Amino acid sequence: MRKAAKLLVSAVFRVVVFPAALMTAFGRWREPYTFFAHHFAGYSGMLGSYLRIAYYQYTLEKVGADCHIALGSFFANPQSSMGDRVGIGAYCVLGQVSVGDGTIMATGVQIISGSRQHLRDEHGHLTDAGRSFDRVKVGKECWLGAGAIVMADLGDMVTVALGSVVFRDVPPGAVVAGNPAHIIPRSVQRENRDTALERSRAWHSGL
């Protein structure tokens, strides 16, 4: 009964947001896409989440089943996807990203599409020349703590501590913390301590 009710509510909200999605050419026209992404981010409660999910089902590449997007959160880039059972906390800003099944984000997480978005010319002025965006991949069953900033890929079952800034790819099963984020060796799942230490040293050698 509950599942049927959720499907009915989802269908109603898909009808509600259809005109907005149509005006964005289903995510292909960036300016109206951004306008409606910001607009729908402002609706609170469970109904707000249904509204956002319905909009992104039309405009993102993929939105899985049983997802939740809290108040104030939005996808800045429609070239993004969400797996099943993804939970996004309040006031998260997501760039070009693929989010794996079962991943959960706390409040205020930012996933930034690479590090070459704001460059300067030979005179020191900001320029769009050479500007590029990278798609960040977040694996399955990850946990991103409050205020985390992620600019690199995360493997499956990665935990990012609150306030961490991730500049480099993180291997599966690791816990990272700090700015710049570093691996906590004993946290790596299914590996002994010596192997974890070796991987941690190799990971840090590129910083």
**Averaged confidence pLDDT in the chain:** 87
| Share of the chain residues as helix, strand and coil, in percent rounded to the nearest 5 | 30, 20, 50
- 196, part of any domain: yes
Contacts of 115 (CB under 8 A, 6+ apart): 134, 151, 167
Which of the two residues, 121 and 138, has the higher pLDDT score? 138
pLDDT for the residue 179: 93
pLDDT in tens, 170-200: 999 999 999 999 998 765 555 555 554 565 4
**Please, how many CA atoms are within 13 Å of residue 146, restricted to the half-sphere of its CB?**
2
Query: Residue 37: inside a domain, yes or no?
Result: no
Is position 192 within any domain? Answer: yes
Beta-bridged to residue 126, according to DSSP, are 120
> Residue 128 pLDDT > 90, yes or no?
no
Q: How many domains does the chain have?
A: 1
> Minimum mean pLDDT among 16-20, 118-122, 148-152: which range?
118-122
Task: Look at 194 and 155; give whichever has higher pLDDT.
Answer: 155
Residue 10 lies in a domain: no
On whether residue 45 sits in a domain, the answer given is no
Higher-pLDDT residue of 62 and 121 is: 62
**146: domain CATH number?**
2.160.10.10
In a domain, 85, yes or no: yes
**What's the confidence (pLDDT) of residue 207?**
47
117 lies in some domain: yes
pLDDT exceeds 90 at position 38: yes
What would the pLDDT profile of 42-95 be if each residue is shown by its tens digit?
Answer: 999 999 999 999 999 999 999 999 999 999 999 999 999 999 999 999 999 999
d(CA 159, CA 64): 21
Give the residue among 70, 152, 145, 156 at the shortest CA–CA distance from 109: 145
Model pLDDT, residue 198: 61
Residue ranges making up the domain that contains 152:
60-204
Q: Determine, yes or no, domain membership for 92.
A: yes
In this structure, the strands spanning 159-160 and 119-120 are unpaired
